[in-house]
C-alpha cells in the first residue's frame, strides 16, 4: 500500500528526512516513532504530497506521488496532530464536505457507520466550536475515512483523547486495516501503541534506525533479552552511539 524509496527532505540546509526506505503492506498498522525532530511529521507530509521532497519517491497503492499526484491522494488520508475543523460546521457537515470533495457517491451509510464506530452519533448536529479536543480528533478521523482510503496516516492521534476515546480510535484503525488497508500512525505514547501496531519504524535524525515487528526489533539489538517493552527497545536504539 505504501512504498517509500530514498526519501529526502531538507529545510534551509538541514536534513529533516535522510534517504528513508520503507514499505507498509495491506492489513498492517505501522507505528512511526522517534525523538522530537526525528522527521516523523515531515515524512507523513511528504507521503501525503503536502511537502515536496528533495529526492526519492513515494507510491501509494501503486500510484506515484508527483507523477500521478491526484490519483495517489485519492487513495490516502492524513489526520494531522492538530485537528483543524470548521467552527460553524456540524459533525455531520464535516463528513458531508469530505465526501463531496472526494466525490463519494452514496456516502451517507458509510458516514453513519463511522459516527457509530467513533461514538459520535449523539454529536451529529453539534458545531465543531462546541466540541472538546478529543471529540474534534474523532471527527477528523471520521472525515478522513469517509472516502475509504487505502492508506490512513495519523500524526499523534491520541493527544486529547480520554481512555475510552483511545480505545475507540484503536478499534477503528484495526477495523480499517482488517479490511485490507494500511495504517501509519506516529506517536510518542509507546506504551499505548505497543500492542496495536503490527510493525514499527524507529527514526533518529531523519534516518531509519530499525524497522520490523517488536520481536524483530529486539532481535536486532544485541543487549536485548527478548521480552523487552517497546519503550526499552526505543531507548536502546535511539540512545546508542555510532
Domain 2-75+150-238 superfamily per CATH: P-loop containing nucleotide triphosphate hydrolases (3.40.50.300)
Q: In this structure, how many other beta carbons lie within 10 angstroms of the beta carbon of residue 20?
A: 25
- Residue 172, CA distances (Å) to 37, 39, 164 in order: 28, 26, 12
pLDDT band at 67 (very low <50, low <70, confident <90, very high): low
Given this model, what pLDDT does residue 241 score?
54
Q: What is the pLDDT of residues 70-107, one digit of tens each?
A: 888 999 999 998 888 999 999 999 999 999 999 999 99
User: Radius of gyration of the chain from Cα atoms?
Assistant: 18
pLDDT band at 13 (very low <50, low <70, confident <90, very high): confident
Domain boundary assignment for the chain: 2-75+150-238, 83-148
Sort strands 63-64 and 76-79 into parallel, antiparallel or unpaired: unpaired
Query: Do 102 and 140 touch, CB atoms closer than 8 A?
Result: no
**154 closest CA partner among 190, 178, 187:** 187
Q: What is the pLDDT of residues 153-193, one digit of tens each?
A: 999 999 889 999 999 999 999 999 999 999 999 999 999 99
Question: Which residues is 210 bridged to in the sheet?
Answer: 202
* Helices and strands, counts by H and E, the chain: 9, 10
| Cα separation, 55 vs 5, whole angstroms | 9
Query: Do 81 and 156 touch, CB atoms closer than 8 A?
Result: yes
Question: Which residues is 186 bridged to in the sheet?
Answer: 32, 155
The dihedral over CA atoms of 201, 41, 177, 159, expressed in degrees to the nearest 10, equals: 110
**Total-model pTM:** 0.94
Amino acid at each position: 500500500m505504501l512504498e517509500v524509496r530514498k526519501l529526502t527532505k531538507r529545510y534551509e540546509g538541514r536534513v529533516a528526512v535522510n534517504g528513508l526506505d520503507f514499505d507498509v503492506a495491506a492489513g498492517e498498522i505501522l507505528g512511526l516513532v522517534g525523538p522530537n525532530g526525528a522527521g516523523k511529521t515531515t515524512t507523513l507530509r511528504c507521503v501525503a504530497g503536502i511537502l515536496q521532497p528533495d529526492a526519492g519517491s513515494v507510491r501509494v497503492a501503486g500510484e506515484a506521488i508527483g507523477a500521478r499526484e491526484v490519483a495517489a491522494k485519492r487513495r490516502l488520508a492524513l489526520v494531522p496532530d492538530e485537528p483543524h475543523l470548521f467552527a460553524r460546521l456540524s459533525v455531520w457537515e464535516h463528513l458531508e464536505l469530505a465526501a463531496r470533495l472526494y466525490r463519494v457517491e452514496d456516502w451517507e451509510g458509510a458516514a453513519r457507520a463511522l459516527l457509530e464506530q467513533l461514538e459520535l452519533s449523539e454529536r451529529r448536529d453539534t458545531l465543531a466550536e462546541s466540541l472538546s479536543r478529543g471529540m474534534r480528533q474523532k471527527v477528523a478521523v471520521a472525515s478522513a475515512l469517509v472516502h475509504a482510503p487505502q492508506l490512513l496516516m495519523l500524526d499523534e492521534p491520541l493527544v486529547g483523547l480520554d481512555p475510552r476515546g483511545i480505545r475507540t480510535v484503536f478499534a477503528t484503525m484495526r477495523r480499517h486495516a482488517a479490511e485490507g488497508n494500511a495504517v501509519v500512525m506516529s506517536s510518542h505514547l509507546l506504551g499505548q501503541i505497543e500492542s496495536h501496531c503490527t510493525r514499527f519504524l524507529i527514526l533518529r535524525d531523519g534516518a531509519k534506525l530499525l524497522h520490523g515487528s517488536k520481536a524483530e526489533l529486539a532481535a536486532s539489538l544485541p543487549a536485548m533479552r527478548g521480552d523487552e517493552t517497546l519503550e526499552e527497545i526505543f531507548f536502546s536504539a535511539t540512545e546508542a552511539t555510532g
